[in-house]
Structure 1
Amino acid sequence: MDRQRWINLFAAISAVTVFGFALGLIFPLLSLVMEKHGVPPHVIGLNTAMQPLGILVSGFLVPHLTSRLGTRPVAIIAAFLTATIIVAYPFTPIYWAWFVLRFLHGLAVGALFTVSEAWVVEAAFGPARSRIMALYASILSVSFGLGSALISFTGIETILPFFIGAGFLAASTIPMFYYRPTGTFMPETGERQLSILGFARLAPILISAVTLFAVIDAAYLGLMPVYGVKKGFDQETAALMLTAFIVGNAGLQFPIGWIADHWSKRGMMVVCAFTTVIGSALIPSAFGTWLLWPVLVVTGATSAGIYTMALAELGERFSGNELVAGTAAFSTTWGAGALVGALIGGWAMDRFGPDGLPYATAMVFAAFVVAIAARTASAGRAARRA
């Protein structure tokens, strides 16, 4: 990489850190506050769903905003807007005001999500692409983990975690000012504009993989601490369950990327998905034993590995307008999948008790694994006939 590519990658990592920390802090923090105030799980799930709904909508808006303003201004404005919204939470009513704030929060972090991924994919190329994507996913996971771990130190009784989160977000924008576009992923003159739906038709398995990851990501980010409390943990230990889930994301992405670079990205994606099904299904029986923590770590690692493989394949297969459309499609798809995950998680806990959360996510994952395997097999048969 040349010097500017490294600078751009560092700026992208800064944007990723902002995105991850904002979601990693707010998802469990708001859920725990609502649980303390007696809000039922299905309402917490509905409130949690507002954030991915905002991310979904942002996927349609961000390409137009970046074409008019550029990616750097959009990322910086979105980061400061996110910080402002975080400060507003403790000063507004928990119920309807938080529904509105979380939707706006999703719009802002969705813009960061789309822009940071475009920057990372732009800077990543060559035979180490999966490992660079793994580094990206690891840092994203660490920032998620820092957000949730902060609650263990500050608690939820004061406004301190909100102000720490907002200050961190504002400071993390500084490297973004040094980003300069290299032209790698910028649209070529006269190049056909590809829509998000058009990209989905080109890469249905990648879109399915992102949806798969988003379902478990939102369900566990929003409801894992509530699950832990309802199963008997105190609030701090329940928040650490989410941290353990995220630690696996951070610590094991590079080995997953290394294997994929030397074996198969698509094959590694399927292995990760299958392992996540097993891990989610084991959480209830492991609860209350030391096995819970390694199960959470492995499940977190393999669920994030699916997304890492999707990103690596995106950068390998697409460029120009197709790459821009791909990063926007990933953001929108993540929002849609996270919306489903939050709603299913809240409903399952209300309907079947706390263990409904991991069992429901395991079933959704299993359905997607079957669908992806069937499509891969069908494509293989078509290729052999040709």
Structure 2
Amino acid sequence: MRNAILSVFSLLVAAAILLGANGLQSTLLSLRANIEGFPLSAIGFLTSAYFVGFILGCRYAPRFIKNVGHIRAFTALASVASAATLAHILFVEPVSWLIMRALAGFCFAGLHMIIESWLNERATNENRGTVLSVYRIADFTAVTAGQFMLNVADPAGFVLFVGVSILISLSLVPVALTTAAAPRPIKSAKLNIPKLWTLSPLACGAVVAAGASGSAFWALAPVFIQDIGYDVSVVALFMSAIIFGGAMAQFPIGWLSDRTDRRRVIVGTAFLAGAGATLISLFGPDSQNLLIAFALMLGMFHLPLYGLGVANANDFAEAEDFVSINGGLLLLYGFGAVTGPIIAPFVMKGFGPSSLFFYNAVVYGLLTIFGLYRLTQRKPVPVEEKTEDFVSVPAGAAPAVFEIDPRATDENPDEAAAKA
């Protein structure tokens, strides 16, 4: 096992640097946009633009990677993402930032794709779970560390933007110097959303809700914290608490869902996420301790939702359909992530900062009700027939690509693409 980790160590280092930088940049842009007096709707659109770019990246980046190779593609995408970060401090106005965020989303879709498909190919069926677990630990740790970098300098200045750019550029070094063999070309899949809905409506609902709720608070929680009277250090604590809560709960919730009716776990998780969001709205403005505690609770039950949806869909899927199924779920997540930051600012403007998390509670509540309805429409999948393939969502981002599915390398990629 030690040899397996060492064989991809350089890729894990690159991923940690890249994800930490992206997590820092996401929170930094919300803070700086608020300082600059951007309208709430414009701050929300920044995150929506990122996910629009991410969706386009998932669609078109594989073609780019196929044409020039993984290392060259990584170099190009990271360089553009680094330059886009610096462009934010040259053109401090909403339209330019929207363009830069969409460009960053496209680049990070390709960067995630390269790293995760590379890790997946280097792993074997015997050690894949461990390799991906280490990757997720690096993900959560790096994004958490990135949040605390907000305390290094004033978000109103340029230092943090330069720091993000430096980190993205440094992520090139482990990839450029790695001795690991580059993976085979990535294949895109034919997506069939109507078939996916027929297969598992609850899975579709879960990933849309995860996108619509998560993208809203990643975009606007820093504004919420500032508007209720806390400083930047509390922003870092709050965002880190959400990530840490998710890190703690991923395994036990995934383990439970593999051993009972997964739909019930989705319903319970959505309900508790809604409770956490409601408690943040009610008690967060009056107590910093309660604010952080309920952020931890929200993270515990929000971050596993995407993985639960993926696993539930795969419970009902045929083996040859897994590429198109997971690709379709990714697309639905992206659509939800685009709409959340568009709707939430109008809610906050009309009802105050705390209504951000009431909005989230409504999204989770609708998923809870829909899940209870779906429990009456179909018998549960027997435990022995379940796929034990719970895959967590990266902290503060969209799920990267469906190639991360553990079964992706069980067959020739050309055959998989043909079947999809």
Question: How high is the TM-score relative to the length of structure 2?
Answer: 0.76
Partner SS, residue 338 of structure 1? helix
Preserved CA contact (<8 Å) 1:218 1:341:
yes
**Aligned counterparts of 2:336 and 2:256: Cα–Cα separation in 1:** 27
Q: Residue 210 of structure 2 is aligned with which of 196, 208, 213?
A: 213
Alpha-carbon displacement from aligned partner over 1:249-275 (angstroms, at most 9, x marks no partner): 233323334444555655444432221
Correspondence 1:273 to 2:270: yes
Alpha-carbon distance change, 242 to 76 in structure 1, aligned in 2, over 3 angstroms: same
**Aligned counterparts of 1:317 and 1:282: Cα–Cα separation in 2:** 35
Preserved CA contact (<8 Å) 2:314 2:325:
no
Alpha-carbon distance change, 149 to 274 in structure 1, aligned in 2, over 3 angstroms: same
- Give, in angstroms, the shift of residue 380 of structure 1: 1.7
Preserved CA contact (<8 Å) 1:231 1:354:
yes
Correspondence 1:156 to 2:155: yes
Q: Residue 284 of structure 1 is aligned with which of 276, 281, 284?
A: 281
Alpha-carbon distance change, 169 to 262 in structure 1, aligned in 2, over 3 angstroms: farther
Preserved CA contact (<8 Å) 1:58 1:332:
no
Alpha-carbon distance change, 146 to 337 in structure 1, aligned in 2, over 3 angstroms: farther
**Aligned counterparts of 2:91 and 2:153: Cα–Cα separation in 1:** 20
- Give, in angstroms, the shift of residue 18 of structure 1: 5.0
- After TM superposition, the structure 1 stretch with the greater mean CA deviation from structure 2, 206-215 or 299-308, is 206-215
- After TM superposition, the structure 1 stretch with the greater mean CA deviation from structure 2, 42-51 or 253-262, is 253-262
Alpha-carbon displacement from aligned partner over 1:174-206 (angstroms, at most 9, x marks no partner): 4445453677x976xxxx953364774556544
- After TM superposition, the structure 1 stretch with the greater mean CA deviation from structure 2, 140-149 or 70-79, is 70-79
Correspondence 1:248 to 2:245: yes
Alpha-carbon distance change, 167 to 213 in structure 1, aligned in 2, over 3 angstroms: same
- Give, in angstroms, the shift of residue 303 of structure 1: 0.9
Aligned twin of 1:180:
181
Preserved CA contact (<8 Å) 2:24 2:143:
yes
Structure of greater relative contact order (alpha carbons < 8 Å, 6+ residues apart): 1
- Give, in angstroms, the shift of residue 293 of structure 1: 1.2
Q: Which amino acid aligns with 2:7?
A: I
Q: Residue 226 of structure 2 is aligned with which of 182, 205, 229?
A: 229
Aligned twin of 2:190:
194
RMSD: 3.6
Preserved CA contact (<8 Å) 2:203 2:309:
yes
**Aligned counterparts of 1:96 and 1:58: Cα–Cα separation in 2:** 20
Greater per-residue helix proportion:
1
Preserved CA contact (<8 Å) 1:17 1:139:
yes
**Aligned counterparts of 1:240 and 1:88: Cα–Cα separation in 2:** 28
- Give, in angstroms, the shift of residue 156 of structure 1: 0.7
Aligned twin of 1:7:
7
- Give, in angstroms, the shift of residue 38 of structure 1: 1.8
Alpha-carbon distance change, 318 to 245 in structure 1, aligned in 2, over 3 angstroms: same
**Aligned counterparts of 1:158 and 1:353: Cα–Cα separation in 2:** 27
Q: Which amino acid aligns with 1:221?
A: W
Partner SS, residue 81 of structure 1? helix
Alpha-carbon displacement from aligned partner over 1:357-381 (angstroms, at most 9, x marks no partner): 0000111122123324433542328
Partner SS, residue 216 of structure 1? helix
Pairing of 1:1-386 with structure 2 (within 5 A):
7-8=7-8, 10=9, 13-14=12-13, 16-18=15-17, 20-119=19-118, 123=123, 125=125, 129=129, 135-177=134-176, 178=178, 179-180=180-181, 194-195=190-191, 197=193, 200-201=196-197, 204-261=201-258, 263=260, 266-287=263-284, 288-289=286-287, 290-310=289-309, 322-326=321-325, 328-380=327-379
- Give, in angstroms, the shift of residue 73 of structure 1: 4.0
Preserved CA contact (<8 Å) 1:215 1:337:
yes
- Give, in angstroms, the shift of residue 31 of structure 1: 1.4
**Aligned counterparts of 2:250 and 2:30: Cα–Cα separation in 1:** 27
**Aligned counterparts of 1:260 and 1:76: Cα–Cα separation in 2:** 39
**Aligned counterparts of 2:306 and 2:25: Cα–Cα separation in 1:** 22
Preserved CA contact (<8 Å) 1:210 1:306:
yes
Alpha-carbon displacement from aligned partner over 1:320-373 (angstroms, at most 9, x marks no partner): 985554554454333322211211221111111111100001111221233244
Alpha-carbon displacement from aligned partner over 1:142-179 (angstroms, at most 9, x marks no partner): 33322222112222132211122122222223444545
Q: Which amino acid aligns with 1:180?
A: A
Q: Which amino acid aligns with 1:235?
A: V
Alpha-carbon displacement from aligned partner over 1:196-220 (angstroms, at most 9, x marks no partner): 6477455654443332222222111
Partner SS, residue 291 of structure 1? helix
**Aligned counterparts of 2:5 and 2:311: Cα–Cα separation in 1:** 17
Preserved CA contact (<8 Å) 2:246 2:299:
yes
Partner SS, residue 379 of structure 1? coil
Question: How high is the TM-score relative to the length of structure 1?
Answer: 0.82
Aligned twin of 2:404:
none
**Aligned counterparts of 1:314 and 1:20: Cα–Cα separation in 2:** 27
- After TM superposition, the structure 1 stretch with the greater mean CA deviation from structure 2, 255-264 or 369-378, is 255-264
Identity, % of aligned positions: 22
Count of aligned positions: 376
Alpha-carbon distance change, 275 to 173 in structure 1, aligned in 2, over 3 angstroms: farther
Preserved CA contact (<8 Å) 1:200 1:329:
yes
Alpha-carbon distance change, 75 to 273 in structure 1, aligned in 2, over 3 angstroms: farther
Alpha-carbon distance change, 64 to 182 in structure 1, aligned in 2, over 3 angstroms: closer
